[in-house]
Each structure stands twice: as structure tokens, then as C-alpha cells.
A and B are shown apart, each in its own frame.
Chain A
């Protein structure tokens, strides 16, 4: 089980309509690859974030499939155009079935 998982995102508070803005996201997560062994030689089970999505007002912006080679605390930065005021929704999917999400509002102005 993953512990201490905390999503964080950075989105500008406002943008001009049609502008491309930079969004930064990071989730604290151990990203255990499933390739390592513990002291007794037993495989440490894989526990990673396997998918990340971002939606704006219900429309998908990015959908990322993630693999075990990604290092701890995955950081994803991308751009999105903002046609109107609304809300970004960020979702992370954990191997253990947990879903972490957070939202950020953005205004036009």
C-alpha cells in the first residue's frame, strides 16, 4: 500500500481566452518498480501510479499511461489552451486501486 501520497498542481489563477498555459503536477508516491527485492530476497510488489489524466470542463487534455521505470514522486508538466473559464480536474490512478484527484479553477481575464 502506498502511504504519504499527496497530489499537488500549479495552475495560473487566470489566463486570456485561447491562451496556452503551463500546468505543473506532482504526486508524492514511492513508485515501487516491482523489480527490487527486500532483505530476505522476496520481491517487493509493484506499487506505482499507472495512469494520469487531466480534464478541462469534462474534456480530456492529457491521458498518460505510466510504467515502472518512472522514478519516485512523478512530475508531469504540460501545456493546455484555455478556451473559457472553468475547472481543471487532475486524476492519478494507483496500482492498488486508489484514485487521487484534485481540481483547480481558472478564470478568464
Chain B
């Protein structure tokens, strides 16, 4: 419905003033380094009732910002990937191991980003990539955990994400994951804060519109961790959730909390089919 309405609006505007910006997603194509073609628009997964097409947040950014993501040399997020590569090979903790001791090169992480958050049967918990990294650090390396939304954590996530770049997001929402997914969905549609806004109010009902000067995207997290121009560093999905909830003038959940883990699973599942983009570049 929404798309039809927007198309009609575009058509009207096109007749009266061809150069008026109608908002909405653009039709640019994302090809990284001139070789990796990315899926940035595709049919919404079956569980989404109110959206027919899912789109990467990349489509809602300016051409200049978009361009930064098209070349790894221009992408400032890749600096953090380099730093994480050093960390990957650095021996830490009481077990005197580095990531590389068990996993060899980071290429072994291909496909990992695409399926997280993922149910871990041994631990009996829903695990995000960050939780898995910290589990490795704590229990395999005997090293200190990274702070959940810190730069070293975001950088390590970026290093792991970039191995899966171009692969479709494919998180499981059935079986053991189902109750977490339901909890995440509940949060997504719950209004919070003095402004009484839910995630859906902006990212489902109003994507493509402007909220003051900000161009609202669908709030997809296939591009996380994200290099944001506003703070010149990599940001985690939970860090962004926190920022969004805060903007509704609510007390936020903490990064790494069960609520945000559930929300991450649900929001990730809304992007099933989009390419993994991390580290992406946004405002």
C-alpha cells in the first residue's frame, strides 16, 4: 500500500515539478570495489505483514555518503577492520591464545555474520555475535571481555562481518529462537518514552519521510557495525538501539541486555535476504 501511495505521489510531483525531491529510497546500485554486487532491495520475508520490499539504509543516504562505502579504501570503517586484524593475531589471556590460534585466518568466519543472532544449544541461550566473541575471549582465551558496545568489539564484529559481505542475511526465527523472536517483535511495536514512539512508527510507517532533517530508513541492521560520520567511529547495533530509544525520551535498555538481544534477532530477521554490508557508512 505504502509503495503504491508513494509511487502515485512521485508521479504527481513529476508532472508539476520534475526536480522536486519526493523522499523515499533511491534506485542506485551498490557494487563494492567494482566487483561485489550487493542486494540492497528485495522482497520482504514472509513474516513481515506491513512492508512489501525491504531496503538497505544505504538507499536513504546522500550520494556522497553512499560513495564512501563503495570502495574499501574510502570506507573509514576499514581502518577498524585493520585494527581488529591485529587484535585477531594478538595473543591475550591466561590460555595464551589469539583468535588465530583456533580459527586461523579471519576468512574462516565467512558466513558467520549472516546467521547471527543464533541459538546456542550448548549454552542454552540466544547469542549475538558480540556475545560469541566475548564467550571466546572469556572461556577459550582466558582474556578480559570486551565492553559490549566498545570500539574493540565493534571492530572485531566488523572484521567478522566483512568476511560475509555480499552474503544474504539469514537468521533463523523458528524452533528455539521463536520465543526470543516474539519478544523482539513485541518490543519493536511497543511505544516508549515521552514521545511514545515505537520502532515501527518511524521505520515501518514512515521510512522515506523526513523527521526534521533526518531521512528515515527502514532501520535495517544488515550494515552493522556502522561507521557513522557523526562520531567518526564504528557503532554497534545495540549502541544504535540505545540511541533510538533514548531519542524517544525513554530510559533505555543496556547494550547486551536480553531485551536488546531479542530486538536484534527480530530486526535482523526483517533484513533476511539483504546482503551483509558491514562495515557500512552512514550519517
Enumerate A1-44 residues with CB–CB distance to B below 8 Å: 4, 6, 8, 10, 24, 26, 28
Q: Which B residues lie within 8 Å of A73 (CB)?
A: 76, 79, 232
Q: Which A residues lie within 8 Å of B83 (CB)?
A: 4, 28
Indicate if the CB atoms of B79 and A26 lie closer than 8 Å. yes
Q: Which of B74, B76, B79 has the most CB of A within 10 A?
A: B79
In the complex, what distance in Å separates the CA atom of A24 from the CA atom of B75? 12
- Whether B82 sits at the interface, judged by CB under 8 Å, is yes
- Whether B210 sits at the interface, judged by CB under 8 Å, is no
Q: Which B residues lie within 8 Å of A72 (CB)?
A: 232
Categorize the interface residue count of chain A.
10 to 19
In the complex, what distance in Å separates the CA atom of A6 from the CA atom of B122? 40
In the complex, what distance in Å separates the CA atom of A6 from the CA atom of B73? 13
Chain A residue at minimal CB-CB distance from B73: A10
Q: Which B residues lie within 8 Å of A4 (CB)?
A: 83
Chain B residue at minimal CB-CB distance from A28: B79
Binary flags per residue of B69-104, CB closer than 8 Å to A gives 1, else 0: 000011010010011000000000000000000000
Chain B residue at minimal CB-CB distance from A77: B74
Q: Which A residues lie within 8 Å of B79 (CB)?
A: 6, 26, 28, 73
Chain B interfacial residues counted at CB < 8 A: 7
Indicate if the CB atoms of A8 and B73 lie closer than 8 Å. yes
The SS class assigned to the A binding surface is strand
The SS class assigned to the B binding surface is loop
In the complex, what distance in Å separates the CA atom of A33 from the CA atom of B82? 24
Enumerate A34-85 residues with CB–CB distance to B below 8 Å: 71-73, 75
Enumerate B47-80 residues with CB–CB distance to A below 8 Å: 73-74, 76, 79
> Quick one: given A71-B232, A72-B232, are A26 and B73 in contact (CB under 8 Å)?
yes
In the complex, what distance in Å separates the CA atom of A73 from the CA atom of B79? 9
> Quick one: given A4-B83, A6-B82, A73-B79, are A24 and B232 in contact (CB under 8 Å)?
no
Q: Which A residues lie within 8 Å of B73 (CB)?
A: 8, 10, 24, 26
CB of A80 to closest CB in B, whole Å: 16
Which one, A6, A24, A28, A71, contacts B74 given CB within 8 A? A24
In the complex, what distance in Å separates the CA atom of A53 from the CA atom of B232? 25
In the complex, what distance in Å separates the CA atom of A73 from the CA atom of B80? 11
CB of A78 to closest CB in B, whole Å: 14
CB of A108 to closest CB in B, whole Å: 23
Chain B residue at minimal CB-CB distance from A10: B73
Chain A residue at minimal CB-CB distance from B233: A72
Chain A residue at minimal CB-CB distance from B76: A73
In the complex, what distance in Å separates the CA atom of A16 from the CA atom of B60? 39
CB of B153 to closest CB in A, whole Å: 16
CB of A2 to closest CB in B, whole Å: 14
- Provide 5 A-B residue pairs closer than 8 Å at the C-beta atoms, listed in order of the A residue: A6-B82, A28-B82, A72-B232, A73-B232, A75-B74
